[in-house]
Every structure is written in structure tokens, then in C-alpha cells.
A = this chain, B = another copy of it.
Amino acid sequence: MMSQEPTRILILGGGFGGVYTARTLEKLLAREIRRGEVELGLVSRENYIAFQPMLPEVISGSIGVLDVITPIRRLCPSTSLYTRTIDSIDLAHRSVRSTAGFGSRQHHLHFDHLVVALGNVTSFAGLPGLAEYALPFKYLGDALALRNRLIHTLEEAAIEPDAAVRRALLTFVVAGGGFSGVEAVAELNDFVRAAARSFRTVRPEEIRVVLLHAGGLILPELPRSLAEFAQRLLMKRGVEIRLDTRLAGATAETALLADGDRIATRTLVSTVPSGPNPLVAMLPVKKERGRILVDAHLQVPEVPGLWAVGDCAAVRDTATGDFCPPTAQHATRQAACVARNIAATVKRTERKAFAFTALGKMGSLGRRSAVAEVFGLKLSGFLAWWLWRTVYLMKLPGLDRKLRVATDWTLDLILPPDIVQLKTDRALGVRREYFEPGQVVFREGDRGDWLYVVTEGEVDVLRTVPGRGEQPVRRLGAGDCFGEIALVSDGGRSATVRAVSATSVLAVDREAFQAMFASLPPLRGFVEQLIASRNA
């Protein structure tokens, strides 16, 4: 037999779909990989797989940050792991382009089989202010950011003299009453109420936790009796549930509701919106609601060698005829099926159609309670919680993680909640902000350390005239700057600026301005002129 080029199988995505495809292929094609007849590659943004069901527990710190994630390299040791961001997928040339982690050299990966398991992404498009102010809740980084925000608001509330500001700081809003929103609000509520005990000046009755849900009952995925149990329990623990209520937008200080109501808050978590991954959106193949349409073998019919699994794939359930829901259970089973079918293609044996009936559904409600529906059986309370922990501990990949999480849970029973705020974001120095009509951007006397550029809408500049109150000085629109005095002086604001219409601005701080803009002669000139004209 002549020596031949190896068959290259490339998997895109480091979630359950991608990683379990690689794991199963390593088993099914072990001999072929050893002989060099097959090469396995996986491209993932992170070098770990996050165990999503445990993300809410990261909020409260009852599970260590590193313990809900497992290194992909350990799970599929025979696969070449590329921890990189994908730039583009070229189906015609059968290659995927990424950029090297250090420097700017380009990197092309060629494939014979491509498995797309890129999931979906958080998308706040169409809702004003959400991209700027809402906290998403999808990745590990999101859970950490939320935890830090909660501690930060408690820290500020503890020393805040203004009653209204204090109330907003102690109000926490979660949008979305599905599994992810309910688990997040349950952990958030438990954590904030327990942590507040370390803050002398914060009283428990000042804390307000609100769950917004578009439907008439939370957890629509579950039978009515379980959903009602969950709803009662959350309310008993102090969560205010607002049904038939949709989030419509946000400012830095408010959650805007679709019914026109608004809630003053500094912490708005949105678990609702998700859209297709841009790479999937750009693929020239048939889609169903943004998901790649595959056949019963999980292959894209019009492109041989292209496969898709998980949340980014539209897979028809053979039993019901509906499309599979986007859950980890389904992604894992689809991964096993696609691996079998690719192996069958390589070995020229027969492929099999995807068939799977979900085993059950579970949702944690925090502090030793949960709801579950397993094999048609409905469970709630402590028993469901015990089942939840046991099942997920068993499913958690890697023995070392199992041990660490079990230890975390044991320590958590006896230790107080952790309230250290681990700041990880470096200040950007540049940010977008959104203001509702009538909202104040800054007030006379505030510390001035940001320059603003209006990108959309209009603002009024107002100055206090003794005896006559605030008087309008000028109106500014798109492309206009204000607050530029902050770049040259350390004093307070000399005027108040208020949005006239819905207004988007770009804010740049002094340091960022010095570092960036000051290097560019045309811009420096422009700002110098602006400052001179305003002072004149």
C-alpha cells in the first residue's frame, strides 16, 4: 500500500459539543491516530471547558473559580489544541484562518472534515444601553464580573450618604426567568444577603432583588407544579418576581421596562438575548433561525465533510420532529453521534442517525433547594438539590475537579461567604455611554476627568445663574465634544450637561487622551482650538 496524506479532522469550539467530539474521536480512531493516518485538531478561544451548570455558584464563591473549568488538553490528549480566536472559515479552500497569540503572523489550518461547534453569543442588539450597562451571564468571566459588581455595590452602599443612590446600589435586577436567570438570581440573592452581614451599615431590609420574566410563570421549560414551587421558594427568600415584564433598555442608573416603568439599580444582569456566532452567520450554508441545518447524520447536506453540533446546529429530533433545544445534554449526545459518523466515513462503515431522548431537567434554587424532572418524576426541595449536586459532580470532567468541588462544597458548609473583590479589568480609559432624554451626564461641581463626544442624539449645556437657576448655554449634536476642560484642569465641572433626546456618547479619560490623541497632530490642534474658543 502506498503511503498517503493523513485525514485531517478539525473541530471548532471548546464547549461540550467540540470537546466531546474530540474525546469520542480519540477513542474510535485511536489506531488511525497512532499510525498517523488521522490528525485531530481543535480550535478554542479558551484552553479550558467551562462546566456551565456550576457557573451560578461562582457568584457566591461556594465553588472555586478554577474548579468549574477543566483543561481541554487533559480531556483530549491526542488532539492538537489551538487556543486561538478564529478569523474566518474558507469552505472553498477547506481552511480556517487564525492569528498567532504573539505577534501578527497568520496561521492557516487545513481540513478534510470540519465540525462546527461554535455555540451562540450574547447579543444585546436593538435594546438601547444594554451593551453598555447590562451584565451578561454566559461565560466564566461573566460570573466573576458579576460577583465583583455585587461586592463593589455593597462597599459603596456602606459609605454612601445619599439615600436615593444608596437604594439604587442595593437594588439588583436579573432579566430572564428561564433556567439560567433563575439559577443566577437564586445565587445572587443568597450571596448578597449573606455578604451584607459583614457590612455594619447595611440593613437586610434595604436589599432588593428583582427577577423580570416575560411570561406568566418562571421556568417555562418545567411542569407547572415545579415552576410554581420554585416561584414560591424564591419569593419566600426575598426575590421580588415581576411577571409579564420585559426589559427594554438600560442607563447607568436604571433598568428600563417595556411597560414604561423603571427601576433604579446599578446591577442589571441579562440572561436573555443570544444570537448566532458571527462566524456561523457568515457561513454560506442553509440555516434555521441562524442555526446550521444538518441532516440526521449531523452533516451539512450541501457540503460533504462539513458537520455541525450543539447550540449552533439545527438538529431535528427524530421522535418529535421538532428541533433539539440548546442544552449541554443534547450537545454531548450530538458530539458522540458526529464522532461515530466521521469515524464511519474514515473507515468506510455505515453512519447512524441521531436519536436521543432527554433524561430530565434540573434547576438549582440556591441554599439546599432545587427542582428536577427526571424520567417523568417530579422532585423539589432538598431531595432535588441533593440529586442536582450528585449528578453534576459525576458529570464534571476529570477526577481532580470532582475532588476539588467536593472539598469546596464541604468547606462552604462551615465557612462564611467570601467578600473579596478581585478586580481583573484594567480601566479602559475609553467607554461608550447611553443617556435617556432628560438624564444628566454630569453636574456643575462634579469631578471632571472625562471628555465626551456625542455620537448620536443631542445634549443641553446648562449653567447656574445666581437668582435665576440653571440656564441653557448651548445645544450640542453628533460629532460635538463637551467636557474637554477636564483634559487641562483638575477642577470641578463648570456646567451641567443633560441629554435632550436618546443620546449615545463616547467618553475618553485624561490618561487615555494623553496616550492616544495627543500623539496625533490634527486632533491635538482640534482640541486646543475647542478649549480656546470655549474660554474666549
Q: Contact residues of A with B, CB < 8 Å?
A: 46-48, 61, 64-66, 69-71, 73-74, 77-78, 80-83, 87, 99-106, 140-141, 144, 151-153, 155-156, 158-160, 165, 169, 198-200, 252, 266, 400, 403-404, 407, 411, 415-416, 418-426, 428-430, 432, 442, 446-450, 453, 455, 479, 481, 492, 506, 508, 512, 515-516, 519-523, 525-526
A267 to chain B, nearest CB (A): 10
Q: Are B70 and A512 in contact (CB under 8 A)?
A: no
Among A153, A420, A425, A449, max chain B CB count under 10 A is at A420
Q: How many copies does the complex hold?
A: 2
For this complex, 26 residue pairs linking A to B, each with C-beta atoms less than 8 Å apart, are A46-B420, A46-B421, A61-B66, A65-B66, A66-B418, A73-B198, A74-B416, A74-B419, A81-B158, A83-B156, A99-B447, A100-B156, A102-B156, A102-B169, A102-B252, A104-B446, A141-B423, A400-B415, A403-B415, A407-B407, A426-B426, A429-B430, A430-B430, A453-B520, A479-B519, A520-B523
Q: Are A425 and B422 in contact (CB under 8 A)?
A: no
Q: In the docked arrangement, what's the CA distance between A99 and B144, Å?
A: 24
Q: Which residues of B contact A520 (CB under 8 A)?
A: 453, 479, 481, 523, 526
Q: In the docked arrangement, what's the CA distance between A75 and B116, Å?
A: 51
A457 to chain B, nearest CB (A): 13
Name the one of B169, B404, B419 contacting A411, with C-beta atoms under 8 angstroms: B404
A254 to chain B, nearest CB (A): 13
Q: Given A155-B83, A450-B104, A515-B506, A428–B425 Cβ distance below 8 Å?
A: no
Q: Are B155 and A421 in contact (CB under 8 A)?
A: no
Q: Which residues of B contact A103 (CB under 8 A)?
A: 165, 252, 446
CB closest chain-B residue, reference A201: B80
Q: Are B415 and A404 in contact (CB under 8 A)?
A: yes
A412 to chain B, nearest CB (A): 11
A224 to chain B, nearest CB (A): 40
Q: Given A83-B421, A418-B66, A526-B520, A156–B101 Cβ distance below 8 Å?
A: yes
Q: Are A73 and B419 in contact (CB under 8 A)?
A: yes
Given contacts A48-B421, A80-B159, A102-B169, 13 further A-B contacts (CB under 8 A): A47-B151, A48-B420, A66-B420, A73-B198, A74-B419, A83-B156, A99-B447, A102-B153, A400-B415, A506-B519, A522-B522, A522-B523, A522-B526
Among A104, A140, A506, A508, max chain B CB count under 10 A is at A104
Q: Are A430 and B515 in contact (CB under 8 A)?
A: yes
Name the one of B106, B151, B266, B453 contacting A447, with C-beta atoms under 8 angstroms: B106
Name the one of B65, B159, B160, B420 contacting A71, with C-beta atoms under 8 angstroms: B420
Q: In the docked arrangement, what's the CA distance between A9 and B113, Å?
A: 69
Name the one of B159, B266, B516, B526 contacting A516, with C-beta atoms under 8 angstroms: B516
Q: Which residues of B contact A512 (CB under 8 A)?
A: 430
- A-B pairs with the 5 shortest C-beta distances? A424-B424, A48-B420, A522-B526, A83-B155, A400-B415
Overall SS of chain A's interface? mixed
Q: In the docked arrangement, what's the CA distance between A520 and B479, Å?
A: 6
Q: Which residues of B contact A106 (CB under 8 A)?
A: 446-447, 492
Q: Are A442 and B155 in contact (CB under 8 A)?
A: no
Q: In the docked arrangement, what's the CA distance between A446 and B153, Å?
A: 45
A123 to chain B, nearest CB (A): 16
Q: Which residues of B contact A140 (CB under 8 A)?
A: 422
Q: Given A48-B421, A106-B447, A420-B66, A479–B521 Cβ distance below 8 Å?
A: yes
A497 to chain B, nearest CB (A): 12
Q: In the docked arrangement, what's the CA distance between A515 and B380, Å?
A: 49
Q: In the docked arrangement, what's the CA distance between A447 and B104, Å?
A: 6
CB closest chain-B residue, reference A100: B156
Q: Which residues of B contact A252 (CB under 8 A)?
A: 102-103
CB closest chain-B residue, reference A493: B104
Q: Are B416 and A400 in contact (CB under 8 A)?
A: yes
Q: Which residues of B contact A525 (CB under 8 A)?
A: 522
A129 to chain B, nearest CB (A): 15
Q: Are A420 and B200 in contact (CB under 8 A)?
A: no
Q: In the docked arrangement, what's the CA distance between A158 and B155, Å?
A: 44
CB closest chain-B residue, reference A45: B423
Q: Are B416 and A105 in contact (CB under 8 A)?
A: no
Q: Which residues of B contact A421 (CB under 8 A)?
A: 46-48, 83
Q: In the docked arrangement, what's the CA distance between A403 and B411, Å?
A: 9
Q: Which residues of B contact A104 (CB under 8 A)?
A: 442, 446-450
Q: Are A447 and B105 in contact (CB under 8 A)?
A: yes
Q: Are A516 and B430 in contact (CB under 8 A)?
A: yes
Q: In the docked arrangement, what's the CA distance between A140 and B418, Å?
A: 16
Q: Which residues of B contact A519 (CB under 8 A)?
A: 453, 455, 479, 506
Q: Are B523 and A516 in contact (CB under 8 A)?
A: no
A13 to chain B, nearest CB (A): 17
